[in-house]
A and B are shown apart, each in its own frame.
Chain A
Amino acid sequence: MAGAGALLRQCPLLLPQNREGSVYEGFVTVQDRDFHIRILLPSDFQLKNARIQCSWCLKKVLHGYQQIVKQRLQHCSDLVSFMVELKTILEAALKNAQELHAPPPPEYYSYLVRDIETLGWNKVVYVDTGLNTIKLKGEDSCGRQHLITLKLNAKYPTEPPNCFVDFPVEFALSWIPQSSLIDIYNQFLAALESLKEFWNAMDEIDEKTWVLEPENPTRSATMRRIAIGNNVSINLEVDPRHPTMLPECYFLGADHVVNPLRTKLNNNMHLWDPDITLLQNLKEVLETDFPSRAVLEKTDFTMDCGICYAYRLDGAIPDQVCGDSRCGQPFHQACLVEWLQGLPSSRQSFNVIFGECPYCNKPISVKMSMKKL
């Protein structure tokens, strides 16, 4: 039988147990591990009706792969090709299982604790229970605090941890298997120093101007939209590597205000002096001063009418309130009547209009004033 020879080459440890060749027992070898297996073929030798008996460790490895094994049994013409398929499945299963469940070896912890002790526990802000995630804090020479998050894998220190930082540039870690946490920390501090100028420039802008966007800039944010006057603003995109150079900028606002500013920028561009700060340069080139944040008097909007946005309307106050407790939006009677009257979905009965609250869609009703009737 040619099949027997091929099977012997593929699985030398799997042998027929009877003359008919309907029962095979032995071992299948994958990644230097032997798994005990017994295959029972039916009398017609059709693989799709075969039964496979596995040892407990083989069963564990194949857990979740039963469907695939069944499918392969259906499709394979003979035992040899099925065994080849089974080996492939086993290899994939073993690989996945290792990645999922392998706990880090004891050396991992000893290395890590030794490294943290050398570094100093006072630099550690956070450690998770599995000792896989560590947050370290660092300070640049201007006194700003920064964080670095390290996600370590089990192969530490042969493989570098994943580092997460709030930087405007990529933090490229150089790593050799002899490196340790201390090297990461020093590289982190060096990166902080190289970005110091950038953060100085951004801090000055955030402190002395009215930044419209982003609302709470992160350390990685290179964009700022600053107010120049009412309804005019400038959008800056600062290069973190060259923070004192002329940033990429464009203006927003009405043409008659923006055009003179643009002209000034174009004409004075050559005056840009990399030795003074970004904000000072902007002021000089645009020949303008930046207003500081306008104080928005946060009056209690909740008292005002949800339609006309005012409190008093012809002396009337918003006395119609949406009945839903989660909404509770007040309206002037006149405003609500005017809105509901225009809607085909509203219904009128005598002098009451039934409709929906324009804020929460819950039913609302309002009496039409006697004057209008």
Chain B
Amino acid sequence: MQRTSRLKRELHLLTTEPPPGIMFWQNKNRMDDLRAQILGGANTPYDKGVFNLEVVVPERYPFEPPKIRFLTPIYHPNIDSAGRICLDVLRLPPKGAWRPSLNISTLLTSIQLLMSEPNPDDPLMADISSEYKYNKEVFIRNAKQWTEKYASQQNRASKTPDEEVTQCEASTPKESAISQKRKGNDMSRKGKKPCLDS
């Protein structure tokens, strides 16, 4: 009941005044399945990358936080290979810090901030986190590589025909999400090799 009125207002606000570097829209006109894009911030290894996210709004929203997940693979201490994000505002109290005064726009802004300021003391990816802490140059190099490989528009533009095919094949959003996940795992193996070598 509260969910509908709130989402309507939030979508209207996000359309007319999107926060800097953030894009947001409804997936297939469904209220509870939203898509967002975050631009990698300048002076971060994610610069020039466009990162896709999935925002699933639960039935009890805004009393429960939305479930936000990266669809684009990202090399980050607090984001795992399935795109799950470790961030306190995405969880309910007492463990988390979600509250109804926050909204999707502020959450996406928090995620944007997390991208530029990782929190290695609360890691989800232990190896990336220790790399971030003790071998920052290697971390930056790997994160840049991933950004270029999976999040840069040039690559996506060249891949467009393939993507369209997979989209047609994928009848439900779940399937495409799974294929994305698989991609993410493949990459994590490839991406981590260089750090073992060094």
Does A339 sit at the interface, judged by CB under 8 A?
yes
Collect the chain A residues with CB atoms within 8 Å of residue B101's CB.
306, 329, 358-359
Task: Choose among A231, A266, A306, A345 the residue that contacts B25 (Cβ–Cβ < 8 A).
Answer: A231
B9 near A310 with CB under 8 A, answer yes
A293 nearest CB neighbor, chain B only: B16
Query: Are B37 and A310 touching (Cβ within 8 A)?
Result: no
- Is A344 among interface residues, defined by CB-CB distance under 8 A? yes
Q: A255-B167, A314-B1 are in contact. Are A358 and B100 (CB under 8 A)?
A: yes
Contact A296 B16 (CB under 8 A): yes
State the majority secondary structure of interface residues on B: mixed
- Chain B, residues 116-157, CB within 8 Å of chain A (1/0): the string is 000000000000000000000000000000000000010001
In contact, B23 and A233 (Cβ under 8 angstroms): yes
B39 at interface, CB cutoff 8 A: yes
Which range contains the number of A residues in contact with the other chain? Answer: 35 or more
Known: A338-B63, A343-B93, A344-B93. A266 touches B157 (CB 8 A): yes
When chains A and B are docked, how far (Å) is the Cα of A250 from the Cα of B23?
13
Q: How far is it, in angstroms, between the C-alpha of A296 and the C-alpha of B99 when the chains are bound?
A: 26
Partner of A309, one of B10, B27, B153, B157: B10
Per-position contact with A for B1-27: 1 when CB-CB < 8 Å, else 0? Answer: 110011001100011111011011101
Which residues of chain B come closer than 8 Å to A256, judged between CB atoms?
167
Pick the most buried of A214, A215, A254, A266: most chain B CB atoms within 10 A of its CB: A254
The reply on B76 being an interface residue by CB < 8 A is no
Q: Specify the chain A residue showing the minimal Cβ separation from B13.
A: A296
Q: Could you say which residues of chain B place their CB within 8 Å of the CB of A344?
A: 93-94
Task: Supply 12 A–B pairs (Cβ within 8 Å), ascending by A.
Answer: A215-B20, A256-B167, A259-B160, A259-B164, A262-B157, A307-B62, A308-B2, A308-B6, A310-B5, A313-B5, A343-B93, A358-B101
Residues A250 and B6 in contact, CB atoms below 8 Å apart:
no
Give 1 or 0 for each of A213-256: 1 = CB within 8 Å of chain B CB. Answer: 11100000000000000111101000000000000001111111
In the complex, which residues of chain A have a beta carbon less than 8 angstroms from the beta carbon of B175? none
Q: Say yes or no: A231 contacts B9, CB within 8 Å.
A: no
Question: Which residues of B sit under 8 angstroms from A214, Cβ to Cβ?
Answer: 20
Q: Is A342 an interface residue (CB 8 A)?
A: yes
CB nearest neighbor in B for A265:
B157
Answer whether residue A46 sits at the interface, using C-beta atoms and an 8 A cutoff: no
Interchain CA distance A304-B94 in the complex, whole Å: 27
Tell me the smallest distance from the CB of B178 to a CB of chain A, in Å.
Answer: 17
- Within A3-27, which residues are at the interface with B (CB < 8 Å)? none
Q: Which 5 A-B pairs have the closest CB atoms?
A: A231-B25, A308-B2, A310-B5, A250-B153, A252-B23
